[in-house]
Amino acid sequence: MTDRDVRTVFSGGGFFEGPRWRDGTWWVSDFYRHTVSRITPDGHETVLAEVEQQPSGLGWLPDGSLVIVSMKDQRLLRWTDGALTELVDLSPHCGGHLNDLVIDEAGRIYVGDFGFDLMGGGDLRTARLKRVDPDGTVSVVADGLYFPNGSVITPDGSTLIVGETLGNRYTAFDLAADGALSNRREWATFAPAPTGSTTEEVLGQLVVAPDGCALDAEGHLWAADAVGGRVIRVAPGGAIVDEIRAPDELGIYACMLGGEDGRTLLMCAAPDFYEHLRAPVREAVLLSTTVDVPHAGRP
């Protein structure tokens, strides 16, 4: 695996998630500061919004409005002209905290949830993937997913790839022009899906726990491995062709390709993800390095 220089872009966070690159800056959520911010490549932060019930996934609608996941009350929020409004309440369709999202070119939002009470140590349950159409209609488009998390849509709009953090795999779907999903299949498999019911049992069986991810121009995924303290570059099928280890025994929980040439890999790092440990302190950092292959052209 390639050795690379890794630098700190920003420090003093609670727990960073949902990184995106747009308009020459990074955009990122912070779970435990309850903020959504823009952060310049040289580390200057501007807080844009405060989300009391914990922000996560970010994405943009065709009109330029920013969509923000509000995790604990399971809502999608719209941020525009400096104001937050509710876009849709997804609580009837969730078994746990709402989490990450991806938006297609037509403005359809695909979003997953934990499926169970992760922070409270609840028994493992699978979760459903929801689609929110531009008219506000909510549809469950896939179920039986083991913690659907970081997701991407291929540049041609034909394929949706969803990371299953507790499933040791990425799952792909054909994505139709009307937003329908079909031909469900394993895009990358690292090990069999874990068995057992408790969080501890499942975490002990994970080989790779796919978290936030980014698609590059060669059709590979850079994926945060939430149990491995690293980001990995994954080929279709599951071969790991590159990795970058986090310094100082940190975990990495999300990543994104960006920068002016698309070759900067931003990594969201923290000692762990547990709310009771992360919320009282400010030990999360944003790290970056340079990779060879640029992003695929979609956030």
DSSP string, 56-122: EEEEE-TTSPEEEEETTTTEEEEEETTEEEEEEE-GGG-SS-EEEEEE-TT--EEEEE-SS-TTTTP
Q: Which pair of structure tokens corresponds to residue 37?
A: 């911010």
The tens digit of pLDDT for each residue in 41-99 reads 999 999 999 999 999 999 999 999 999 999 999 999 999 999 999 999 999 999 999 99
* Averaged pLDDT of the chain: 95
Rounded Cα–Cα distance for residues 106 and 61 (Å): 8
Asked whether the beta carbons of 6 and 20 are under 8 A apart, the reply is no
pLDDT at 297: 82
For 42, the 3-state DSSP assignment is: coil
Rounded Cα–Cα distance for residues 27 and 25 (Å): 7
- Cβ-Cβ contacts under 8 Å for 115 (sequence gap 6 or more): 95, 96, 124, 125, 126, 127, 128, 145, 146, 147
Asked whether the beta carbons of 41 and 264 are under 8 A apart, the reply is yes
Q: Is the pLDDT of residue 143 over 80?
A: yes
Average pLDDT rounded to a whole number, residues 127-153: 97
Q: Is the pLDDT of residue 2 over 70?
A: no
Q: Which pair of structure tokens corresponds to residue 31?
A: 């779970």
Q: Is the pLDDT of residue 193 over 90?
A: no
